[in-house]
Amino acid sequence: MPKRGLEVSACEIFRFYKLIPTKNLVQPISMIVPRRSESYQEDIYPLTTGAQPALTAQEWLHGVNKGQHMESSPALQLPGAWVSCHWLSGPITAREVGNEEDERRENYSCEPKYFGG
């Protein structure tokens, strides 16, 4: 299980799966650090590889070497957390297609929203 898939509100640090072939089951087994707080515990989650690739296909074909993109991704997996994205202006018309990419970058906004959970 990748680190970004862990249940950080329960302080889960590792998850593996036990196969039970006689019953055709897969049983998840979690390793949990006992903590009183259910909030994100930064001290038990080191940086891990992120979901963003370090290279594009073209860069890789040209022999470019880069380190992995590291992030504290479990912090983004808190229950009740999501990202709200919306356009700040109306749809782009066919005449504006030439500037579409620049305009979208300027007129697009994403911000994290947190709810109890």
- For residue 55, give the DSSP letter: S
**What pTM was computed for the model?**
0.45
- For residue 93, give the DSSP letter: P
Residues of the chain with pLDDT > 70, as a percent, come to 51
Task: Assign 91 to helix, strand or coil.
Answer: coil
**47 vs 38: CA distance, rounded Å:** 20
40 neighbors 75 (Cβ within 8 angstroms): yes
Res. 35: pLDDT tops 70: yes
Res. 75: pLDDT tops 60: no
Average pLDDT over residues 90-96: 52
